[in-house]
Amino acid sequence: MTGLSSHNPLVFILGLVAAAGVAGATYLFYVAQDRETPELRRQFGLIFLAIGLFSLGGFVQLLWSDWAGFPAGHYTELFGVTTGLFSFMLIMAGILLLMGFGLRTLAWPAALFGLFLFQGARAVLDFQLTRNPTMTFVLWIAAGLASVGMLPYAYAKGPGRRNLAYLGMAVLVVMALAAFLTGVNGFYGHIAEIAQKK
């Protein structure tokens, strides 16, 4: 392998996606239970900001290194674009929550970014990308639904907001589970692949 990369960053990124899904679902649980406070928003803002900054490192590595060890432009496109959007969204959400602002301004680009995730899900199935295209498809669809769902959630009030928080929580749990299963299997699979070549 040449370039800056010493490992495949996808497992690391999938771990961050799983962590973001769990954190987001937990935050929405507090919202649905009407237990959201300024202090809670700041705490989750810090978590989202940290995950976004770490994922930014994965984004940079995907775009500017020979991370796969073989020509992998289609994977770089698929994972690089989505990791960059994921990083931007979490960094901005973290900043907005830390500063005490709502997520309305972020909900508009989030809805647009969700369309990219839907297109990525389509590409995964059409071209049978990854070792488990069905699981990756579920991950991309769930992430896309979470992104698009930010728009109605950001403007909802009362029972509507609570219902959307529960729905968003379910979607984020699915996303986190798909990212975790893909990542943990990839973690072992990448190690096994390298070890068997020796």
Which domains, ranges and CATH numbers included, belong to the chain?
10-189 (1.25.40.600)
Number of H helices, E strands in the chain: 6, 0
Q: Tokens 């994921």 map to which residue?
A: 86
Interval 140-176: pLDDT, tens? 999 999 999 999 999 999 999 999 999 999 999 999 9
70: left (phi over 0), alpha (psi -120 to 50) or beta: beta
Whole-number CA gyration radius for the chain: 17
Interval 96-130: pLDDT, tens? 999 999 899 999 999 999 999 999 999 999 999 88
Q: The whole model's pTM is what?
A: 0.91
